[in-house]
Amino acid sequence: MAERFIRDLILAAVIFVVVAVLVYSDLEVVQPVTEYVNYVVTTDISLQPFLERMELAEKLPRWQSWLKGLTEATAGW
């Protein structure tokens, strides 16, 4: 079991290093992907449409403000 954990840890580290090298290499091929990831990370998510569809918008007004605080992302990398 420890061998599997170490193998998975090494695989995650290799993937992280590959992604970091691609991001910091500033190649033209990678730039659209980094812009998309930046857009996804910095987009404010609203849960209001989901709550309205499930008819929970009136029942859980405090939950939305609590969840909105969790989903707010800081701008930039």
Report the distance separating Cα 37 and Cα 31, nearest Å: 10
Q: Give me the mean pLDDT over the 51-57 stretch.
A: 66
Q: Give me the mean pLDDT over the 9-21 stretch.
A: 91
Of residues 38 and 9, the one with the higher pLDDT is: 9
Place of tokens 């980094």: 34
Confirm if 48 and 60 have CB atoms less than 8 A apart.
no
What's the chain's length in residues? Answer: 77
Of residues 54 and 74, the one with the higher pLDDT is: 54
Residue 68: the pLDDT is 61
